[in-house]
Amino acid sequence: MVIVKKSVKKKKPAKKKVSKAAKPKAEKPAKKTTKTKAEKPKTEKVEKAKVEETKTEKTEKPKRERTGNLKRNHDKYELNGNGEKLGKGKLVLAMVKQFMFDKPKTTFEELGRAFPAELQAGYKGVFAKVVDVKKNDLAKRYFMHDQIIKTSDGIAVTVTREFGSGNIAAVLEHAKKMGFKIKVHQEG
């Protein structure tokens, strides 16, 4: 058995009729001369295509090219056998915290020598003063709030989050020289 649905048309409300006398007379626009297809210039189509082309160029964002491996590195790291798996940025934060715990009389300058700026090649160094980070609105690039570390000379510092597969190798090598034991957990 086949059921056929009938479409029901909705009635439109009736328009009010207005007499010609009640309507104000509108000026008639001047008649446009129309050309046949053969007479119309082809430049209109070309200009429209150019305009559309420039619109798409402006709206499309260029893709950033990735350097190195095309796959992301999601490895996790364990510092000194504590069992906690850390990402690259958190690993460096844990290293700086451990260093300050082991050597609490470390000054800002000494911390800079212990973790040189070259370890974080693409940015401004491994850590920065909290005052500078807040002043330059860079909080999203640093571990803030409960992750702030105080040096013995009273300077509050914060560690950058900007570590990736391009600069973690230098950090791991430096960590070995400093006596840290880091175990790598390779993850897909």
- 3-class DSSP state of 13: coil
DSSP for 30-46, please give it: PPPPP--TTTS-THHHH
pLDDT tens-digit map of 27-65: 555 555 555 555 555 556 556 555 555 555 545 555 545
CA–CA dist 41, 103 (Å, integer) = 81
- Report pLDDT for 111: 94
Q: Does the model's pTM come out above 0.75?
A: no
pLDDT tens-digit map of 97-129: 999 999 999 999 999 999 998 888 766 789 999
Four-CA torsion 145, 167, 104, 134, nearest 10 degrees: -30
List C-alpha distances in Å: 142 to 44, 50, 79, 130. Answer: 54, 45, 20, 9
